[in-house]
Amino acid sequence: MTPDTIKLIAPKFTPPLDSHFRPAVLCNHDFVTEAKASGQSIPLVLGLERVNGNLSRYDTVVFAAQHARSVENFMYVERLLKFLLWQRGGWRIYVGGPREIGDYIRSVYCSNGKRGFDFDFMGNLVYEKPFEVISCAYEDVPEAKESQFPLGRHLEGNRIGFDLGASDIKVSAVIDGNPVFSQEIIWEPVKQSDPAYHRREIMNGLKLAAEKLPNVDAIGGSSAGIYINNRVMVASLFRGIPRQQFDQVKNLFLEIRETFGVPLEVVNDGEVTALAGSMSLEENGILGIALGSSEAGGFVNQEGNITDWLNELAFAPVDYNPDAAYEEWSGDRGVGASYFSQQCVFRLAPAAGIEIPADITNAEKLKLVQEKLEAGHEGARQIWQSIGIYMGYGIAHYSDFYDLNHILILGRVTSGSGGQIILDTANEVLKAEFPEIAQKVKIQLPDEKSRRVGQSIAAASLPVLA
């Protein structure tokens, strides 16, 4: 056995188009249960330091070195850290436990290591600090320090809301909290290397919404990526822009704010997903999951606030099969983007007997498969059943890291009958495999209009009027 090994647990529910799916939640639960039962477990804590001294801790156990399963410690901790990095963020990582585990993590999360992408992304791009791993004793990991703050819920005035996806721009005109106009505009930003394209398309969408208002008082937006003080730190939408030209989009939204001369706020699309759910349900403890061009995650805590966590679940592992779906941007396998997005639909289509033309946009590709679903194509139905099974095990996995009451799922992949299939299948998995979670966590599926444009409407509530 090698450090890339962990005992894989087959699920009770097998995705009809992916028989090799091995849910992370089952592997993690088995590992921890067996380690504790062995009488030879050792405590381990991961500390993730972000900005302003904020730090998250995650406590767990591993096998003692003399145990036959101790070689699994390495993959267990590596996958756990990978999840926490993209859920919470961090540039300095403390591994409080056996020295050999900390040393292994450092060798993996380095510039030329297997997780070189994460090393560069978190250090250079997100936090603009050298990424480092500190191997230390359990008691030497600093205490947790978390922060939270309110987001949005401002409805007065004439507002524009927008949501930037990899397939379309959604814009809404909102007057005192009531949407008077919503539109989806097709674009393909990932394929564009010229920053001028992005600015032009976003401005055209905002101007279209502005025409439906007597005047514009504020603009709020959501987008995949990481945004700090309305600056684009990193975003998959702009991945086609060479790094040496990225400064031309870093201040894009500050420039748009100056052009319109009104308050403007832009945040991660997942946070707006959760905000939309909290506003519509009048509930807290909500994890929003948007199944669009990628997977967006956002979390409103039990106090109704958001944290400084990243919640970039698109790159958090959910499948431990060593041959799991490959995600081309991060270079990793088994991460959420390949299971909870249109990428999953395209990945499963060949196994479902569906041929997708290569010379059409991604939005058109998804529409083609969805039309087959609505027409009763059994293979298409199996795609959404597979996503529903992924979702059931994924929600159980997320519940190990979030204090949840509700899950809100939306996004283009949930449009039509596909959303209900995902919801029903996920609930079936939870009731059979994780009954305690099924009792506590309620999965919500917004109505059709909210699923498609609700994000941009919620985004309109972000800015405080001057």
Closest CA to 223 of 456, 412, 51, 452: 456
Q: Is residue 238 part of a domain?
A: yes
Residue 1's DSSP bridge partners are none
How confident is the prediction for the chain on average, in pLDDT?
93
User: Could you tell me which residue, 389 or 240, shows the higher pLDDT?
Assistant: 389
Render the burial of 199-217: b for 16+ CB within 10 Å, e for the rest: bebbeebbebbbebbeebb
Looking at 95, 128, 146, the residue that finishes a domain is 146
User: Tokens 């381990």 sit at which residue?
Assistant: 44
Listed residues 119, 146, 173: the one ending a domain: 146
Which of 25-34, 277-286, 450-459 holds the top average pLDDT?
25-34
Q: Residue 463 to residues 200, 219, 265, 380: CA-CA distances in angstroms? A: 22, 7, 6, 41
Q: What does the alpha-carbon distance between residue 412 and residue 342 come to, in Å, rounded to a whole number?
A: 8
66 with 51, same domain: the answer is: yes
So what's the pLDDT on residue 44? 98
d(CA 117, CA 321): 20
Question: Considering Cα of 419, then 425, then 427, then 433, what sign does the dihedral take?
Answer: negative
Identify whether the C-beta of residue 157 lies closer than 8 Å to the C-beta of residue 218: yes
Domain co-membership, 335 together with 423: yes
Query: Dihedrals φ, ψ of 199, to 5°?
Result: -65, -45
Q: Are residues 293 and 407 in the same domain?
A: yes
Say yes or no to pLDDT of 371 above 60.
yes
CA distance 265 to 46: 33
With cut-offs at 50, 70 and 90, classify the pLDDT of residue 150: confident
The pLDDT value recorded for residue 269 is 80
In DSSP notation, 303-345 reads TS-EES----GGGSB-B--TTPPEETTTTEESBGGGTSSHHHH
* The predicted structure's pLDDT at residue 376: 98
Asked if residue 26 is part of any domain, the answer here is no
Region 329-333 average pLDDT:
93
Statement to judge: residues 79 and 165 lie in one domain: no
81 pLDDT more than 60:
yes
Instruction: Report residue 279: phi and psi, to 5°.
Output: -70, -40
Parallel, antiparallel or unpaired: strands 264-268 and 92-96: unpaired
Same domain membership, residue 245 and residue 197: yes
- Say yes or no to pLDDT of 347 above 70: yes
Answer whether residue 10 is part of any domain: no
Same structural domain for residues 206 and 350?
yes
Same domain for 389 and 457, yes or no, is yes
User: What pLDDT does 186 receive?
Assistant: 92
Asked if the structure places residue 453 within a domain, the reply is yes
Query: Has residue 18 been placed in a domain?
Result: no
252 assigned to some structural domain: yes
The residue that leads in pLDDT, 155 or 319, is 319
Q: What is the mean pLDDT of residues 202-209?
A: 96
136 and 225 fall within a common domain: no
Residues 394, 443: Cα–Cα separation, whole Å: 12
Residue 243: other Cβ atoms inside 10 A: 9
pTM of the predicted protein model:
0.86
Q: Would you say residue 411 lies in a domain? A: yes
What gap in Å lies between CA 34 and CA 38, rounded to an integer? 6
* Mean pLDDT of the region 95-110: 97
One domain, residues 186 and 128: no
pLDDT at 450 exceeding the cut of 70: no
Compute CA 331 distance to the chain's CA centroid, rounded to the nearest angstrom.
16
Furthest C-alpha separation in the chain = 73
Cα–Cα nearest to 458, from 87, 166, 170, 88: 170
Q: What is the pLDDT of residues 409-436, one digit of tens each?
A: 988 899 999 999 999 999 999 999 999 9
Q: Are residues 130 and 177 in the same domain?
A: no
User: What total of structural domains would you count in the chain?
Assistant: 2
Average pLDDT over residues 291-301: 89
Provide mean pLDDT across the span 104-130. Answer: 95
Is the per-residue pLDDT at 154 higher than 80?
A: yes
Judged against a pLDDT cut of 60, whether residue 448 lies above it is answered with no
Cβ neighbors of 38 (< 8 A, separation 6 or more) are 63, 64, 67, 69
Q: Is the pLDDT of residue 277 over 90?
A: no
Q: Is residue 441's pLDDT more than 60?
A: yes
Domain that holds residue 45: 38-146
Write the pLDDT tens digit of every residue in 179-197: 999 999 999 898 899 999 9
Whole-number pLDDT of residue 273: 78
409 and 376 inside one domain: yes
Q: Is the pLDDT of residue 39 over 70?
A: yes
- What mean pLDDT do residues 313-327 have? 96
For residue 466, pLDDT over 80 is answered with no
Q: CATH code at 251?
A: 3.30.420.40
Domain boundary among 146, 164, 187: 146
Are 105 and 211 found together in one domain? Answer: no
Helical packing angle, 448-459 and 269-281, nearest 10°: 110
* 374 has pLDDT over 80: yes
- Whether residue 31 is contained in a domain is answered as no
Helices 252-260 and 195-210 pack at an angle, to 10 degrees, of: 30
Judge whether residue 389 has pLDDT over 70: yes
Confidence of residue 136 (pLDDT cuts 50, 70, 90): very high
Structure tokens at 429: 């998995």
